């Protein structure tokens, strides 16, 4: 085990899988350490009668609720938005909706365009071929021609509109606002060994049909065929460095709990916006007393979540409910900055279908809509499969006080200090939320919905973990370079959402993976001078 490998990747999620697959063509010896294991399709909740209950149990999106051995606890008490993720092969793509928008070209130039935050050191044009390559690997369904984006070509036809989507479309047309079928990684036809979607309607807690493009069934089979060594049940405790300030490998606990050292020429971090700063901070040493790669003091800072606000109402007739993918459409009507508004940047509307009976009953009981007693039945029957909801997905600006640190007390099952999240919703975001909620209510009214409610923010809505080891050309103002190499440690790379400079207002997985492929490509091009 201690034999030196060429490349050691930490984390087998969205970005780690993409990097492993891309680097595999070099024939270097590549090992990936993943703290969780594989999830078999028959384990997913949609295979059993308790399919709704398990999203509050062993398939909860919150690691604190799920509390599997592969999970590490997160102290997010000081945050109105709780972290959600999945620890295992495939990472959080196992428990995501498959909504797959790209960042917009303007998202990479926010300082230039809007005078806030910082520009990225890469741009949309540079990433475009990697977006396309990633789309091919993940298998994207959608519809070409969206006026909100530069031209792109999804591999498969879009998801059905269904009754709910048609209502959304009619409402948006009546308001004259943009809407478009979402790009998703839900296969609408057989694709590269994946079966077509059959509308299980329960995409987030894992797709038993295998239609959802999670990287355990997209990148990993190809990477394994190419010779990558993926070791599961292996939790990394720290990255070890030598006197020259270079990474020499990692200390980790294997599946039996035995402490081991794996030597490596290159270490690639792919643990996303909470796991990556946690590991860097846990790798402090005499040479790096504030944590590894942290001479800028920015490791863990500038955490961006995307506050999600759900606005919902009830239709006068049954719509799709849970009988189709939860997400189907997006709107970018208010995505780009408008100087007439009292905020900069913008937000996306993400249109949802509905929920199953248990979720409808639980949510409506929690918000007081569903009564106790004999009226329960009447109200429930007026609600089931009539709910329509949309999310206002807000661009969070980077703010240094929103951060990940190490909790002084909390530890994981191996005794490794756990992360602590301190986060508040910023003033620009609050104004954006107010704007978005008002317009979401107009959309619901136009869709014929009444009894409108708002969940602000969605409590367990911390899906997108960004910005805590950001990229840039200035070592004093960034953690990694414009091609993902840590400024302080020349054989340590970061390829996950932590390197985002700004967040945009879309689900980030597509951009995370395009960035990971871009960084892998840069590494391949620079192999002879990688450590210069």
Binding site for another protein (CB under 8 A): 44, 46-53, 56-57, 67, 104-106, 108-109, 112-113, 123-124, 143, 145, 147-150, 160-163, 165-166, 169-170, 172-173, 176, 178-181, 197-202, 208-209, 320, 322-324, 332, 336-337, 357-358, 361-362, 365-366, 372-374, 376-377, 381, 384
Would you say 530 and 122 are in contact if contact means Cβ atoms under 8 Å apart?
no
Pairing of strands 492-494, 259-269: parallel
For residue 108, what are the contacts with CB-CB under 8 A and spacing of at least 6?
119, 120, 122, 123, 124, 501
8 A C-beta contact, residue 178 and residue 331: yes
Of 4 and 170, the one with the shorter C-beta distance to another protein is: 170
**Residue 154 or 291 with smaller CB distance to another protein:** 154
> DSSP class of residue 486?
B
Q: How far is the CB of 459 from another protein (least distance, A)?
A: 11
Spatial CA neighbour of 415 closest among 267, 238, 212, 218: 238
Helices (H), 181-258: 219-225
Nearer to another protein, 190 or 527 (CB): 190
Q: How far is the CB of 444 from another protein (least distance, A)?
A: 17
- Spatial CA neighbour of 150 closest among 107, 100, 105, 99: 105
Longest dimension (CA), the chain: 75
User: Residue 293 CB, nearest distance to another protein (Å)?
Assistant: 29
d(Cα 274, Cα 468) in Å, to the nearest integer? 7
Beta carbon of residue 302, minimum distance to another protein (angstroms, whole number): 22
Q: Report d(CA 304, CA 54) in Å as an integer.
A: 28
Helix/strand/coil for 267: strand
Q: Shortest gap between Cβ of 94 and another protein (angstroms)?
A: 16
Contact in structure between 139 and 154 (CB atoms under 8 Å): no
**Burial class of 119 by CB neighbour count within 10 A (0 to 12, 13 to 18, 19+):** middle
Say if CB 19 and CB 270 are below 8 A apart.
Answer: yes
The nearer residue to another protein, 203 or 515, going by C-beta atoms, is 203
Tell me whether residue 23 or residue 207 sits nearer to another protein (CB atom): 207
Preceding amide of 457 cis, omega within 30:
yes
Question: Which two tokens mark 363?
Answer: 């949510």
Q: Which residue, 25 or 366, has its beta carbon nearer to another protein?
A: 366
- Least CB distance from residue 262 to another protein, whole Å? 34
Rounded Cα distance, 331 and 351, in Å = 8
For β-strands 450-455 and 308-314, DSSP reports them as: antiparallel
Minimal distance in Å, beta carbon 120 to another protein?
11
Phi (first) and psi of residue 195, to 5 degrees: -80, 155
Between 206 and 233, CB nearer to another protein:
206
Q: Tokens for 517?
A: 């492929």
Nearer to another protein, 27 or 381 (CB): 381
Closest CA to 507 of 34, 35, 84: 84
Write down the least CB distance from residue 447 to another protein, Å: 13
CB of 440 to another protein, least distance (A): 18
Q: Residue 193 CB, nearest distance to another protein (Å)? A: 18
CB of 270 to another protein, least distance (A): 28
**Would you give the distance in Å from CA 393 to the centre of its chain?**
13
Q: Radius of gyration of the chain from Cα atoms?
A: 22
């Amino acid at each position: 085990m201690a034999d030196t490998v060429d490349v050691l990747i930490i984390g087998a999620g969205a970005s780690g899988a993409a990097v492993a697959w891309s680097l595999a063509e070099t024939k270097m010896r590549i090992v990936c350490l993943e703290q969780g294991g594989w999830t078999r399709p028959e384990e997913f909740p949609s295979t059993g009668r308790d399919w709704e209950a398990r999203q509050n149990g062993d398939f909860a999106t919150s690691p604190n609720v799920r509390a599997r051995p592969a999970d590490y606890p997160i102290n997010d008490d000081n945050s109105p938005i709780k972290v959600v993720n999945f620890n295992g092969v495939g990472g959080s793509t196992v428990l995501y909706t498959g909504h797959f928008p790209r960042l917009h070209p303007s998202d990479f130039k926010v300082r230039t365009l809007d005078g806030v935050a910082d520009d990225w050191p890469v741009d949309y044009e540079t990433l475009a071929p990697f977006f396309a390559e990633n789309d091919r690997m993940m298998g994207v369904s959608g519809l070409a021609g969206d006026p909100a984006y530069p031209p792109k070509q999804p591999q498969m036809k879009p998801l059905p509109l269904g009754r709910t989507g048609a209502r959304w479309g009619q409402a948006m047309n009546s308001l004259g606002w943009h809407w478009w079928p979402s790009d998703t990684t839900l296969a609408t036809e057989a694709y590269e060994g994946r079966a077509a979607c059959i509308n299980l309607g329960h995409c987030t807690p894992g797709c038993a049909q295998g239609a959802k493009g999670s990287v355990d069934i997209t990148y990993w089979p190809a990477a394994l065929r190419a010779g990558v060594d993926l070791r599961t049940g292996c939790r990394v405790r720290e990255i070890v460095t030598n006197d020259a300030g270079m990474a020499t490998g990692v200390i980790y606990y294997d599946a039996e709990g035995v402490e081991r050292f794996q030597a490596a020429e290159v270490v690639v971090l792919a643990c996303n916006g909470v796991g990556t700063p946690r590991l860097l901070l846990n790798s402090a040493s005499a040479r790096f007393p504030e944590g590894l790669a942290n001479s800028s003091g920015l490791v863990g800072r500038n955490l961006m979540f995307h506050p999600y606000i759900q606005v919902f109402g009830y239709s006068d007739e049954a719509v799709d409910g849970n009988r189709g993918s939860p997400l189907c459409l997006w709107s970018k009507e208010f995505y780009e900055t408008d100087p007439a508004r009292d905020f900069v940047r913008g937000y996306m509307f993400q249109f949802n279908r509905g929920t199953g009976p248990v979720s409808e009953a639980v949510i409506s009981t929690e918000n007081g809509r569903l009564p106790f007693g004999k009226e329960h039945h009447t109200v429930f029957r007026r609600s089931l499969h009539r709910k329509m909801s949309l999310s206002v997905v807000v661009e969070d600006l980077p703010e240094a006080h929103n951060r990940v640190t190490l909790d002084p007390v909390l530890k994981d099952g191996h005794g490794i200090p756990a992360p602590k999240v301190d986060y508040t919703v910023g003033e620009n975001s609050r104004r954006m939320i107010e704007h978005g909620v008002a317009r979401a209510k107009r959309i619901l009214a136009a869709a014929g919905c009444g009894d409108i409610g708002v969940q602000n923010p969605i409590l367990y809505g911390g899906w997108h973990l960004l910005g805590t080891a950001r990229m840039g050309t200035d070592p004093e103002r960034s953690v990694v370079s414009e091609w993902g190499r840590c400024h302080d440690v020349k054989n340590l790379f970061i390829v996950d959402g932590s390197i985002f400079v700004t967040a945009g207002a879309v689900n980030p997985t597509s951009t995370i993976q395009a960035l990971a492929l871009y960084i892998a490509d840069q590494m391949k091009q620079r192999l002879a001078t990688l450590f210069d």
